[in-house]
Amino acid sequence: METLSTKAELSAWLAQGSAGPRVLVPTMGALHRGHASLLDIAAAEAGRIGGEVVATLFVNPIQFGPNEDYDAYPRPLADDLETCRACGVAAVFAPPADEIYAPDRSVSVTESSLSRRLCGASRPGHFDGVCTVVAKLFHLLSPAAAVFGEKDYQQLAVIRRLVRDLDFPVRILAGPTVREQDGLALSSRNAYLRPEERAQAPILNEALRAAARAYRRAGGCGDAGAAAAQFGKVFARATLARLDYFETVHADTLEPLGSGSEGHARFLAAAFFGATRLIDNVGEEG
- The C-alpha R_g of the chain, in whole angstroms, comes to 19
Task: Report the amino acid identity of residue 237.
Answer: R
DSSP state of 256: B
204 CB neighbour count, 10 Å cutoff:
26
CA distance 5 to 150: 28
Q: Which of 35, 126, 139, 250 is catalytic?
A: 35
CA distance 178 to 94: 24
226 SS3 class: helix
User: Is residue 35 annotated as a catalytic residue, yes or no?
Assistant: yes
**Helical pair 126-141 and 7-15, crossing angle rounded to 10 deg:** 40
Q: Which of 273, 270, 282, 277 is nearest to 117 (CA)?
A: 270
CA distance 95 to 70: 15
225 SS3 class: helix
208 SS3 class: helix
Write the CA distances from 26 to 143, 256, 285, integer angstroms. 11, 29, 28
Alpha helices in 54-201 (DSSP H): 77-86, 97-100, 119-122, 126-141, 153-166, 195-200
Write the CA distances from 185 to 151, 189, 221, integer angstroms. 7, 10, 27
CA distance 277 to 50: 39
What are the residue numbers of the active site?
A: 35
